[in-house]
Amino acid sequence: MPPFETKPEAGYTPVAKALHWLVVALLFCQYALAWTMPHMGRDTKPDRMINLHLSFGLLILLVLAIRLAWRWTHREPTPPAGLPAWMVRSSRAIHYLLYGLLVLLPLLGWINASFRGFDVSLFGLLRLPPLIAARTPGFAWTGDVHSLLSNYLLLPLAGLHITAALYHRLVRKDRVLERMLPAAWT
Ligand code: HEM
């Protein structure tokens, strides 16, 4: 299958748009939880906020898996004519980095929650297995790396992604942003 949709005016499919905006909404909730939940020390027992952080993170992982499956079975829209090749390449690189981080971060969080001996479940409805045994030596770093990458890599990359979308809309005045907006807004 060619990587791009053949009709230049085509946007993303309604399913791709819904999954994109669902991940955005879940990330808003996830950062609000991450920045207000209690600090986790060695003997912290997970409270409601921490459990919600674990559940929203797992939900993001689940939606991402569906999103990647959709992405690999459906064409993406053709880049607008006249877009420099470096821009197309760098935007794809950022998209892949974002996808990669949105898989890696929840997995690191899940490993760290397992390391801490937390029960990990999806909103208390579906219990998930630990990824490693509690206090497995050599895994203490997973929490710090999870927090650092979430705060200092995912957020700046998301900022770059949003800046690029606004640049297309306000400076180049092409349809790049519109292709991902709900049909009613375009
Ligand atoms: C994309 C999904 C996720 C994002 C963006 C995210 C974000 C964050 C952030 C920003 C922090 C640091 C909070 C602070 O600044 O103090 C954090 C901490 C933490 N998160 Fe997540 N998280 C995600 C998924 C998960 C998942 C799925 C789990 C477990 C199932 C999890 C478990 C944890 C734990 C245990 C900590 C404490 C780490 C430590 O301080 O040692 N997270 N998360």
HSE, CB side, 13 Å, CA atoms: give it for residue 18.
Answer: 6
Q: How does pLDDT run across 72-102, given as a tens digit for each residue? A: 999 888 888 889 999 999 999 999 999 999 9
pLDDT band at residue 3 under the 50/70/90 scheme? low
* Secondary structure (H, E, C), the chain: CCCECCCCCCCCCHHHHHHHHHHHHHHHHHHHHHHHCCCCCCCCCCCHHHHHHHHHHHHHHHHHHHHHHHHHHCCECCCCCCCCHHHHHHHHHHHHHHHHHHHHHHHHHHHHHHHCCCCEEECCCEEECCCCCCCCCCCCHHHHHHHHHHHHHHHHHHHHHHHHHHHHHHHHCCCCCHHHCCHHHC
Tokens of 113: 């929650």
The protein residue whose alpha carbon is closest to atom 5 in ligand 1 is: 150
pLDDT at 1: 47
Distance 1 CA to ligand 1 centre (A): 37
pLDDT at 9: 57
Ligand 1 atom with the shortest distance to the CA of 58? 27
Q: Is the CB of 44 under 6 A from ligand 1?
A: no
Distance 107 CA to ligand 1 centre (A): 10
173 vs 7, higher pLDDT: 173
Residue whose pair of structure tokens reads 């929840």 in the numeric block: 106
Best residue for ligand 1 mutational test, from 135, 147, 151, 154 (most atoms within 8 Å of Cβ): 147
pTM: 0.93
Distance 70 CA to ligand 1 centre (A): 26
Q: How does pLDDT run across 126-182, given as a tens digit for each residue? A: 999 999 999 999 999 999 999 999 999 999 999 999 999 999 999 999 999 999 999
Q: Is the CB of 54 under 6 A from ligand 1?
A: yes
pLDDT at 7: 54
Whether residue 4 is predicted with pLDDT greater than 70 in this model: the reply is no
Q: How does pLDDT run across 11-68, given as a tens digit for each residue? A: 899 999 999 999 999 999 999 999 999 999 999 999 999 999 999 999 999 999 999 9
Q: How does pLDDT run across 112-140, given as a tens digit for each residue? A: 999 999 999 999 999 999 999 999 999 99
